[in-house]
Amino acid sequence: MVYYIRMKKQYYFLFVGLFMSVMTMAQDLRTTLGKAFNSQDSSDYYFKIAKRLIKTQADEGQYFFCKNARCTDYNQLDSAVVYGNRALKILQSGNDIPSLLTVYNNMAKVYRKQGQYDKAVAYCLQGIRIAEKEKKENWIAFFNAMLSLTYHDFESYPKGIYYGKKALKYWVSQKEKSPDMISNALNAVAINFDDWNKPDSALYYHKQVFQYYKGKDTLNVGETYNNIGNTLLKQKKFKEAKRWITSALKINDKNFELSQGNKDTDYYYERATNYTNLATIAHELDDFNEAEKLFEKAYWFSKKSGNAEKLRDFYMQRALFNKKRNNLVKAVEDQESYIKLRDSVFDVDRAQTFSELEAKYQNEKKEKQLLQSKAEIREREIEIKNKNMQFLVLGLISFALLCIIYLVYRQQKLKIKQQEQEFELKSAIVKIENQNKLQEQRLAISRDLHDNIGSQLTFIISSVDNIKYAFDIQNEKLDAKLSNISSFAKDTIIELRDTIWAMNKSQISFEDLQTRIHNFVDKAKEVKQEIQFNFFVDSDLKDRKFSSIEGMNIYRTIQEAIHNSIKYAEAKNIDIKVKKLGTQIAIEIKDDGKGFDVAAVAKGHGLFNMQKRITEINGHFNLQSAASGTEINILL
Amino acid sequence: MTFFLITVFLVLIGLIVYLQYKMFSERNAFASKLEPLEQLMIQLNEDCKNQSLQIQLSDDLKVKMRDVNAALSRNIFELNYQLFEESTPKKEK
């Protein structure tokens, strides 16, 4: 285990060591390449060291990239092309986009100098494609500015203005404005206008440069000074033009001094421009000696700059100068050089390639835009679909919320209703309970009263009977009156007892009624022994129950009917039958007495009361009487 | 966003179902709470009805007793009157 940990430690240190050494080497390569690029005299030496430090393909790419940049800046145009192509080969397969775009820019710059504008445009467009893909907006602006300059050199000024304005628009729209970049774009637009014979527009754009350098060092705007002078020269304002161009030359000299004598491309290019312009002014002012001297300088710098456009301008101006001096041989020579150079630059094939490249780029761009707009439409469709969906769901949510509000409202309403119902029910119960208590109290008082009446009646009966038997009353009238009082009191007691019996029962069954009627019949038998009583109750009806009033009324009706039969009918048989008739109860009281004429006999209290009692309990009363007997039918 | 809205909608649907269920169970609970009260009410009503009938019987009896009282009073008065008639000529003799 210890061995394993030790091994692990060793591997860890080895890995860290290797990583550090690789990083150091990578750092060394970059430092060395930096020195090689910036050094004036020892560049080759540092490049040789850097070459030895190359370990990876990325290192190689960086090496060729630096070589290309150095050669571009120091006018080694062919070498720049060779190194550029090698750098591109490696960088295209890597992820170092800024280096790749820089190489494209350098290649465009080199070909522009060489007058191979078709190739310059091709590299610019390729650079733009990559920058667009990588969304490097500043690089798109760089390439647009380069295209503007290239089209200018190719004398395709409207296109030059178009690309220059594109670059200008981008740099001006930036929050942090870069005066160098804006000045570059403004100059590109202005020189196109200038050579297109639109000096006013050219001066307008040139002078805008000073807005961004107002109150600052003019060392940055040497090119603008020269360009303004150039425009004025075309306007035949020679003296004014000379002043501007001389100032431009002084600025360039000062910049050269400040750069510690660094003779890069710009050094030769700027001076070629300045001296050609100054020579032209001298020739226009007929100062031939001065013009000749200046043309000589201009020739030297133009040659050194390696810029086809500069040489072309130079030959053109010197041809005009020699023509003016009547030095026709030299004039023809310069004219021939100019035409040769011009032809090499402006051949038909190149122009065609130009337009093809442009068309290809524009087509690609349009296709790209088409695809982009299609994608946008698709995205918008999806967005609209999503929004529709969201609206639908929002609608459903609103509906659900409304439902919830309604449910909560209904629930609250239900609760209130339930509480009200409960309260009402409880109130009703309390009310009924109170009513019941009151009724109970009333009934208790009634019972006491009935007991009292009962005892008083008993006292009367016993008193009357005592008087009757104790004093041996001879007076018949008196005796009858006493008997009458006694029997009346007895009847009243019976009635009182019957009522108390009914009052003490909440329900009365037929069985109870049967027992009660039997008692009554037994007593009646004692009085009239010859009468035969038959009492029959259907067994199904024994459990049938009546309320106290119903029971009492039925009992009293039967009692009254029997009483009438005993008292008036002189009957021998009295039949009482209670039967079930469907859902109804039929009670039949029949005697075999002498009967009576129902029409002739006015209904006395007895008959009337019977009918009234039955009607009160929703029953039907029927009485039939003949010589053979009387029959009462009650239907309940 | 859509997913969030759908989730909210589903939650609300759940809430609706819950509220419906709660309402249903509250109704049932209330019905079972009221049932004994209703039974008691029916019982009390029944008692009240019976008592009313008994009171009616009592009232009928009261009327009857008034008639009985009047009849007895009349009979006793007549008896006294006769006794008075019987006793008065004897005193004259």
Phi and psi, residue A234, nearest 5°: -70, -25
Nearest C-alpha of chain A: how many angstroms from B48? 6
CA distance A36 to B89: 182
Q: How far apart are the first and last CA of chain A?
A: 113
Residue B19's closest chain A neighbor by CA?
A407
Distances (CA, A) of A418 to A289, A412, A422, A573, B28: 123, 10, 6, 64, 11
CB contact under 8 A, B86 and A475: yes
Query: Can you give the pLDDT at residue A161?
Result: 94
User: For the ranges A243-257, A362-376, A502-516, B44-58, which has the lowest average pLDDT?
Assistant: A502-516
CA distance A187 to A181: 10
**What would the two tokens of residue A282 be?**
């001298």
Residue B40's closest chain A neighbor by CA?
A429
| Torsion angle (degrees, nearest 10) of CA A109, A114, A116, A120 | 0
CA distance A399 to B79: 96
- A532-549 residue pLDDT tens: 888 888 888 777 888 888
Taking the Cβ of residue A403 and every Cβ of chain B, the question of whether any pair is shorter than 8 Å is answered with yes
Q: DSSP for A476-504?
A: HHHHHHHHHHHHHHHHHHHHHHHHHHHHT
Query: Can you give the pLDDT at residue A604?
Result: 61
**What would the two tokens of residue B60 be?**
């009928």
Q: In what order do the strands lie in the sheet with A629-635?
A: A532-537, A573-581, A584-591, A629-635, A620-626
Nearest C-alpha of chain A: how many angstroms from B93? 18
**What would the two tokens of residue B86 be?**
């019987």
Predicted confidence band of residue A404 (pLDDT cuts 50, 70, 90): very high
* CATH fold of the domain at A244-346: 1.25.40
CB contact under 8 A, A481 and B40: no
CB contact under 8 A, A485 and B76: yes
Nearest C-alpha of chain B: how many angstroms from A411? 6
Identity of the residue in B38, B53, B86 whose CB atom sits nearest the CB atom of A547? B53
**A213 in Cβ contact with A221 (< 8 Å):** yes
For residue A327, pLDDT over 50 is answered with: yes
User: For the ranges A113-127, A143-157, A208-222, which has the lowest average pLDDT?
Assistant: A208-222
CB contact under 8 A, B22 and A411: yes
Q: Under DSSP, is residue A528 helix (H, G, I), strand (E, B) or coil?
A: coil
Query: Can you give the pLDDT at residue A26?
Result: 56
Q: Same topology for domains A244-346 and A507-635, yes or no?
A: no
Query: Can you give the pLDDT at residue A305?
Result: 84
Identity of the residue in B9, B79, B86 whose CB atom sits nearest the CB atom of A393? B9
> In CATH, what is the architecture of A507-635?
2-Layer Sandwich (3.30)
CB contact under 8 A, B68 and A488: yes
Q: Tokens 């008083």, residue?
A: A456
Show residues of chain A in contact with B88, CB under 8 Å.
none
CB contact under 8 A, A393 and B79: no
Identity of the residue in A411, A478, A489 whose CB atom sits nearest the CB atom of B23? A411
Contacts of A307 (CB under 8 A, 6+ apart): A113, A269, A272
For residue A15, pLDDT over 50 is answered with: no
Predicted confidence band of residue A217 (pLDDT cuts 50, 70, 90): low
For residue B90, pLDDT over 60 is answered with: no
Half-sphere exposure of B88 (CA within 13 A, CB side): 6
- A197-206 residue pLDDT tens: 899 999 999 8
CA distance A108 to A87: 14
Mean pLDDT throughout A367-382? Answer: 91
- A475-504 residue pLDDT tens: 777 888 888 888 888 888 888 888 888 888
**A455 in Cβ contact with A484 (< 8 Å):** no
For residue A465, pLDDT over 90 is answered with: no
Contacts of A486 (CB under 8 A, 6+ apart): A460, A461, A464, A465, A468
Q: Under DSSP, is residue A51 helix (H, G, I), strand (E, B) or coil?
A: helix
CB contact under 8 A, B51 and A439: yes
For residue A379, pLDDT over 80 is answered with: yes
| Torsion angle (degrees, nearest 10) of CA B26, B27, B32, B34 | 110
For residue A25, pLDDT over 70 is answered with: no
For residue A10, pLDDT over 50 is answered with: no
Query: Can you give the pLDDT at residue A402?
Result: 94
Query: Can you give the pLDDT at residue A3?
Result: 33
Residue A401's closest chain B neighbor by CA?
B12
Query: Can you give the pLDDT at residue A466?
Result: 85
Residue A406's closest chain B neighbor by CA?
B16
For residue B87, pLDDT over 80 is answered with: no
Identity of the residue in B27, B54, B62 whose CB atom sits nearest the CB atom of A443? B54
For residue A344, pLDDT over 80 is answered with: no
For residue A506, pLDDT over 80 is answered with: no
Predicted confidence band of residue A18 (pLDDT cuts 50, 70, 90): very low
- B65-75 residue pLDDT tens: 888 888 888 88
Residue B23's closest chain A neighbor by CA?
A411
Predicted confidence band of residue A602 (pLDDT cuts 50, 70, 90): low
For chain A, the domains span 244-346, 507-635
Mean pLDDT taken over chain A = 84
- Which candidate, A222, A188, A219, A225, places its Cα nearest to that of A205? A188
Contacts of A289 (CB under 8 A, 6+ apart): none
